[in-house]
A and B are shown apart, each in its own frame.
Chain A
């Protein structure tokens, strides 16, 4: 039985690594072009379903902040059903603000939104360390928190989409395509994360290292906050 599971994991690992490296390779070549994505989109108008799906997925897979938060969210989730509940709440949250924000033409400061996204990583790590349970009894339900932070992550996604100077012509189709891409990218990232956690959980080290892992996670969250806030002060001030 274990052997069979191992084979399935091996297959999953291969598939995920392949899709990861493919996305990464595409991303690297896109970077070499230097704003090529943007130039392409600015030259074209109307509905561009596949390109926007790709960009949404690319943003999710290469967007460190979303991945770190997701890693924190599923850190202690063993059952796939729990993963599905939490990830759905997160997806619901970020879809609402992504679609609404772009449609309503909100222009939120990207540095400030991204620093709050960094804070969401810190928050989740603190929750995983048991901080809220120990010091703030009956604090916000974890599911409510995931939904609320989903709203914030969606605002961040909206600013990225608006950065692409999305044209009014075909706006809704492009926006929804981007959102679909985000969810697909999230699925790829999740598959990878679940597998990694699955492998780690099998070792005896996992229990002992949860504190260390979440402290490191929190540290990266703090780094994101500092990085984005400095960007706000230096480049927007």
Chain B
């Protein structure tokens, strides 16, 4: 009932199927497989500069690493590899609409207890981790967000790092005046730093 309007000569459907398959194969081999899977049998992907574009393989690698670490974390021996427990207690000053990033260098499976608060001043905060992964075409950055606070005045909790790298907060002052954010942390981190990014325009 649906094909009443088609008038196709008998041989066209097979011929067109062949054409469609051929174009699909060419597209796959020259563009899609190079970009999506970093498979470049023809070299066209490299010429076009789209090889490995989607980082899919890299993301899979990180996922595998996270899974591996999660399994390793189940073993109590793992905790021995961590640096000794440290404490930080700092006051960050953010100008109106100012942004800053408080980062801690941590290994995988390190534990962190944290508390930050800004009094009554509203802040956007984003707890995330990032790390560099070595892909075939060099290093690329992977970012994983753990917790986002759209408009808050504080947050406390504990988390275990799923992978080694930088973990910490991006803060954005939502007020039109300068504010203080107090950050108190204890955990097995290697080092910490605060980067003032400046006001958001």
Residues of A within 8 A of B (CB): 33-36, 39, 43, 75-77, 82, 86, 122, 125-131, 133-135, 142, 207, 210-211, 214-216, 218-223, 225-227, 230-231, 234-235
Which among B6, B36, B37 is the interface contact of A129 at CB below 8 angstroms?
A: B6
Contact A219 B4 (CB under 8 A): no
Q: Please measure, in the bound complex, the distance between the C-alpha atom of A35 and the C-alpha atom of B142, giving whole angstroms.
A: 12
Chain A nearest CB from B127 CB (Å) reads 10
B3 cross-chain contacts in A, Cβ below 8 A: 76, 127-128, 130, 133, 142
Contact status of A222 and B24, CB under 8 A, knowing A131-B14, A234-B37: yes
Contact A76 B20 (CB under 8 A): no
Chain B nearest CB from A136 CB (Å) reads 10
Q: Chain B's interface: helix, strand, loop or mixed, by majority?
A: helix
Q: Please measure, in the bound complex, the distance between the C-alpha atom of A230 and the C-alpha atom of B3, giving whole angstroms.
A: 33
A-B contact pairs, 25 of them (CB 8 A): A35-B144, A39-B145, A39-B147, A126-B13, A127-B2, A129-B6, A129-B16, A130-B12, A131-B13, A134-B10, A142-B2, A142-B3, A207-B5, A211-B12, A215-B19, A219-B23, A219-B27, A221-B20, A222-B21, A223-B24, A223-B27, A223-B28, A226-B32, A226-B33, A235-B56
Name the 6 nearest CB pairs between A and B, nearest first. Answer: A222-B24, A131-B13, A218-B20, A219-B20, A129-B13, A130-B8
What is the interface size of chain B, counting residues whose CB is below 8 A from a CB of the partner?
A: 35
B36 cross-chain contacts in A, Cβ below 8 A: 227, 230-231
Chain B nearest CB from A79 CB (Å) reads 10
Which among A34, A39, A76 is the interface contact of B5 at CB below 8 angstroms?
A: A76
Contact status of A39 and B4, CB under 8 A, knowing A134-B13, A218-B17, A223-B32: no
Since A33-B145, A218-B21, A230-B36 are in contact, a sample of 10 more A-B pairs with Cβ atoms closer than 8 Å, ordered by chain A residue number, is A128-B3, A131-B17, A218-B17, A218-B20, A219-B19, A223-B27, A225-B24, A226-B28, A230-B37, A230-B39
